[in-house]
Amino acid sequence: MTQKAASKRTYPWTTTIKDKEVSLRQMTAADGDRILAFARSLPEDDLLFMSTDITKPEAVDFYVQSIKAGRIHVILAESEGRLVGYGNLMINELTWTRHLGEMQLMVAPEFRGKGLGQVLAGEVFVIAQEHGLQKIVARMAAEQRGAIQVFEKMGFRAEALLADFVIDRRDRTHDLIVMTYDVTGLTE
């Protein structure tokens, strides 16, 4: 399935996902504690492969500084006053990969398989287009079959398999899959 770009949004905005109202908005510096609490509420298996360990206050502080600097753009999803997911786009405009953005999605277990990840991804695609990016990269451990399937359904394709490229919290190495999506092919 090919993902279409959403219109430019004015945040916050609200949608309904499987009979639950979900509000989406951009993350601000004031959300640091909420991100920390959300990450700490996730199942241990979800935390094994986070590229930025946002269960640690210093990592969240770095995350917030990166938002202020414009290197990370984060869309938060909230339902019934609680954070239930986020999608982010990391941009490095100073390197030979400045045409790429890296996407990360995280959705609370009770909202998985209901379309929230797809909604968040659509928002990230719009941000990527606004920044003139050409491709979005997603990285995940080879064992994360569910995540791989979600990204494949959105139109990402596997580009590389890197053996023993990531190490988890238990100091075990895992293969890394790099997937990409061509943003230039999106239509308004």
Does the pLDDT of residue 186 top 90, yes or no? no
pTM of this prediction exceeds 0.85: yes
Would you state the pLDDT for residue 163? 97
* Domains of the chain, earliest start first: 13-137 (3.40.630.30)
Gap between the Cα atoms of 55 and 34, Å rounded: 11
Does the pLDDT of residue 6 top 50, yes or no? no
pLDDT band at 7 (very low <50, low <70, confident <90, very high): very low
Does the pLDDT of residue 88 top 50, yes or no? yes
- Please compute the mean of the pLDDT values over residues 66-85 and round it to a whole number: 93
Greatest extent of the chain over all pairs of C-alpha atoms, in Å: 44
- The total of other beta-carbon atoms located within 10 Å of residue 143's CB is 15
Percent of the chain exceeding pLDDT 70 equals: 93
Would you state the pLDDT for residue 33? 92
The 3-state DSSP class for residue 26 equals strand
Would you state the pLDDT for residue 22? 97
- DSSP characters over 112-167: TTTTHHHHHHHHHHHHHHHTT-SEEEEEEETT-HHHHHHHHHTT-EEEEEEEEEEE
Does the pLDDT of residue 1 top 50, yes or no? no
Does the pLDDT of residue 106 top 80, yes or no? yes
